[in-house]
Amino acid sequence: MQIQDPYQTYSTTQNIVVSIILSLITLGIYLLYWQYKQMQTLNAWLGRKEYYFWRWIFLSFFTCGIYEVFEEYKMSQSINFVENKYNLQVHRNLPITA
């Protein structure tokens, strides 16, 4: 059975302002949780386990953030894939914009 609309089936809606404030208050710890939830949501939308939080933490730390840039690029490509798969508005420049 295919999901009709990934945004309705599995969604974690977060207020960006609240997330930024929490990140500042917790000195960045909340950012880790935020990234974890993004990976969980994207894995659910893709219907497969492609993004792993602990691998991301480990490789980002040992490559001084280089892996983080690569992973964010991959995640934006996956978002485009999901948008295309469900005939949603595709943001083609998402993988190349900051």
Structural domain boundaries enclosing 85:
6-96
- pLDDT, residue 98, reads 45
State residue 80's pLDDT score. 87
d(CA 63, CA 95): 21
Asked if pLDDT for residue 51 goes beyond 90, the answer is yes
C-alpha–C-alpha distance, residues 57 and 53, integer Å: 6
Give the mean pLDDT of the chain.
83
The count of other CB atoms within 10 Å of the CB of residue 63 is: 12
* Total domains in the fold of the chain: 1
The mean pLDDT value for 50-59 works out to 95
Instruction: Flag whether pLDDT at 1 surpasses 50.
Output: no
- Residue 1 falls within a domain, yes or no? no
Region 22-29 average pLDDT: 93
CA distance 71 to 60: 9
Question: Looking at the domain assignment, is residue 13 inside a domain?
Answer: yes
- CA separation (Å) from 59 to 4, 7, 11, 40, 48? 34, 29, 27, 18, 21
pTM for this predicted structure: 0.76
pLDDT for the residue 16? 81
